[in-house]
Amino acid sequence: MNLDTTNHLENVRKAAANLNGVLRTTDMIYSEFFSKETGNRIYIKPENLQRTGSFKIRGAFNKVANLTEEERAKGIIASSAGNHAQGVALAASKMGIKATIVMPQVTPLIKIDSTKSYGADVVLHGNVYDEAYAKAVELAKANGYTFVHPYNDYDVMCGQGTIALEILEELEDIDQILVPVGGGGLISGIAMAAKAIKPTIQVIGVEPVGAASMTAALDAGHVVTLDKVQTGAEGVAVKTVGDLALEVCSKYVDGIIQVTEDEIMEALLLLLERHKIICEAAGALPLAAIKKLNTRNKNIACVVSGGNIDMVTISSTINSGLVTRGRVLCFTVDLPDTPGQLLSIAQILSDHRANVIKLEHNQFKAIDRVQNVQLEVTAETNGHEHIKTVIDALEAGGFKVNRIY
């Protein structure tokens, strides 16, 4: 297709009409906390509250709504790490269409069960999205299904672009939109629509360092396949971006920021702690990137793309975020096996307001267990400076501290 001659805004508005009555309203949330931290005015677009728990219903439903009667009769198939799967499954169920979804074997259980609950048949295959995609294409050819691509499809992009319509209708003075990037469909749709409405707006993508497939493609000037992806943000763990998505991003996207796993975990924790918003790792990417923006006094919309995260992952994420923020200290010390040593440690921690969460007093872990005993302490702290103060006080008291985390 010719991007220059296609009326993207008209097509995104048609997608909005298709989605009328399907979507939940996800009004933006002004974040006083993130605004103070960055010197900008930060608004959160909470697509984690959308139907199926993510933005994906927008593109999936628009694609299915545009299928011919013949295509609907044969059925559809999709590959997904979970969110697109649920969007396709819900769209299919509403239109009475048979849907098959191929998902990576590492997909969180909540996403698998949710997809099945909408009536789709689920096939688990491969460890990353790209392997599930290859299987879905194979099944589509064998059975005559229409493949609903999660990101490299113009109708899907137009559905995702309705987010830009809503952001700019709600606050026309938005200067920048930060968007998570996996395969590139979400940012493509948002960029096409946003630039058509407001050419001066900046649309910036955010990728994990360990899955920077769009950055690699933009740098190379063509689609490339990463050797591997390594990130806890499974929703954007994509080795190869779409060729159409790359073309759109090359034309309309203003830049890509990369963030580390620690930065993602910290953003997740802050969203939960400050806004009581639970999102998946991919959804936190824009909030993880805002400190890296070289701007002040700008209105910035951060698209929190999804919230489909299971309880075990939430627990692990919270723990990782607490460590990253310096909210937990775990250390060991070898103590003489004499009365009063544990009391001395406890007194120092108490004097410096470190709240003990867990203690393990173990004679069998010490190097010389005849004379010494190893004490492992986990304590609640109030940031990295507080941790340094506590460790300094312990070492000033004659204890050699071995910090675990």
pLDDT band at 109 (very low <50, low <70, confident <90, very high): confident
Give percent of the chain with pLDDT exceeding 70.
98
**For the chain, what is the mean pLDDT?**
93
**Average confidence (pLDDT) over 226-244:** 93
Pick the CATH number of 8-55+160-322 from 3.40.50.1100, 2.30.30.30, 2.60.40.3950, 3.30.460.10: 3.40.50.1100
190: confidence class by pLDDT, cuts 50, 70, 90: very high
Give the mean pLDDT of 273-288.
Answer: 96
**Fold identical between 8-55+160-322 and 57-147?**
yes
Distance (Å) of CA 14 to CA 18, 58, 79, 186:
6, 12, 25, 17
- The whole-number average pLDDT for the span 177-205 is 98
Confirm if 286 and 302 have CB atoms less than 8 A apart: yes
Could you give the residue numbers annotated as active site? 56, 305
Q: Once rounded to an integer, what is the mean pLDDT over residues 343-352?
A: 95
Query: pLDDT tens digits, residue range 352-387?
Result: 999 999 999 876 665 565 568 889 999 999 999 999
**pLDDT, tens only, 38-60:** 999 999 999 999 999 999 999 99
**Does pLDDT of 229 surpass 90?**
yes
Q: Which of 100, 105, 149 is nearest to 124 (CA)?
A: 105
Query: pLDDT at residue 114 above 90?
Result: no
Q: How many Å separate Cα 72 from the centre of its chain? A: 32
Q: Does residue 190 contact residue 51 with C-beta atoms inside 8 Å? A: no
Q: What is the pLDDT of residue 370?
A: 56
Query: Quick one: average pLDDT of 279-298?
Result: 96
What class, spelled out in words, does domain 57-147 have in CATH? alpha beta
Using CA atoms, how far apart are residues 281 and 59, in angstroms rounded to an integer?
A: 20
pLDDT tens profile 46-95: 999 999 999 999 999 999 999 999 999 999 999 987 788 889 999 999 99
> 319 to each of 159, 225, 234, 244, 380, how far by Cα in Å?
36, 33, 18, 39, 11
**What was the pLDDT predicted at 207?**
98
Q: What is the pLDDT of residue 67?
A: 96
Question: Where does the pLDDT of residue 312 fall: very low under 50, low under 70, confident under 90, or very high at 90 and above?
Answer: confident
pLDDT, greater one: 142 or 335: 142
Domain ranges of the chain: 8-55+160-322, 57-147, 326-403
Q: Supply φ then ψ for residue 334, to 5 degrees.
A: -95, 120
Q: What is the pLDDT of residue 368?
A: 60
What CATH class has 326-403?
alpha beta
pLDDT score, position 369: 53
What does the pLDDT read at residue 365?
64
Q: Taking the CB of residue 25, how many other CB atoms lie within 10 A of it?
A: 8
